[in-house]
Amino acid sequence: MPLLTGWAKKGLFEVQEYVKLCGALGRGVTSRPFYFRDIVEQFDAIGVGSLTVVLLTGGFTGAVLALQSGMTLDQFGARSVVGRLISASMVKELGPVLTALMVAGRVGSGIAAELGSMAVTDQLNALRALGTDPVRKLAVPRVLAGLVMVPVLTVISDFIGILGAWIVTVTQLRVASSVFWNSIVDALFIQDIWMGLIKPVFFGFAIVSIACHVGMRTTGGTQGVGQSTTYAVVAGSVAVLVLNFVITKLLITLLY
């Protein structure tokens, strides 16, 4: 029982510290000073740096989804409507979620390791001693980059996924290209596009803010940095999956 109580207290304390960080992020975004150079650097690190893994994930996901769904739809003589399934799956669910998980693995771990190393070597305290707020200097640029670049990466992933599905549909399933694209256009509604664009904004904030929180609270030397990196990836990935359900439920209620 004492062990369970201690675990609950520790969990509540971490939630409290995370909420405090979110409040500090809000103040950092809406008041000076702004570190524009750091923001641009993070846009490049998070956005451009994650482009390769997002392209590969989106392309092969769309291709295998077309291959599998085509075999299933053949049982009902509905191979020609494979584009409907691809567009709905990629734009509303697979594109945002898989992109966020890839970003959590690549960016979340990198942020936690970088900030964790700064924490255990007292670089964060050195910034405070020089009159610089570590949240404004380190966390705010990364969170802004996550908010902007994760939706952009999701759009790219959706497009590449549909392109990969088109290649498989035309070459392997022998469906006419015009039939595939017309099926996609007929299946997509504006509500689907909004859902596919709103989700990544929340995913990006959750991934980067959790990584910053974990990294800046790292203790225990190099071993602590490794643990923080693991925690950041696991917590970010779980947050993406939980948020995906909650936001989907909310958007279905509001948009449909």
pLDDT digits (tens, 9 = 90+) for 49-86: 899 999 999 999 999 998 888 888 877 777 788 888 88
Neighbour tally for 134: CB within 10 Å: 20
pLDDT exceeds cutoff 80 at 160: yes
In a domain? residue 119: yes
Asked if 145 and 208 touch (Cβ cutoff 8 Å), the reply is yes
In a domain? residue 223: yes
Chain-centre distance of CA 161, in angstroms?
Answer: 17
pLDDT exceeds cutoff 80 at 239: yes
CA 69, CA 176: separation in Å to the nearest integer?
16
pLDDT value at residue 198: 93
Kindly indicate the confidence band of residue 3, based on its pLDDT and cuts at 50, 70 and 90.
low
In a domain? residue 225: yes
In a domain? residue 66: yes
Task: Give the mean pLDDT of the chain.
Answer: 88
pLDDT exceeds cutoff 70 at 4: no
pLDDT exceeds cutoff 70 at 26: yes
In a domain? residue 6: no
Mean pLDDT of the region 17-34: 86
pLDDT exceeds cutoff 90 at 184: no
Closest-CA residue to 207 (of 106, 104, 102): 104
Tell me the two tokens of residue 20.
């405090």
In a domain? residue 7: no
Number of domains forming the structure of the chain: 1
Enumerate residues 6+ apart whose C-beta is below 8 A from 137: 35, 38, 127
CA 53, CA 31: separation in Å to the nearest integer?
34
pLDDT exceeds cutoff 70 at 16: yes
Q: 113 lies in which domain range?
A: 35-255
CA 87, CA 103: separation in Å to the nearest integer?
22
* pTM higher than 0.95: no
In a domain? residue 26: no
The helix (H) or strand (E) run that includes residue 55 is helix 51-74
Mean pLDDT of the region 139-158: 93
In a domain? residue 48: yes
pLDDT value at residue 238: 94
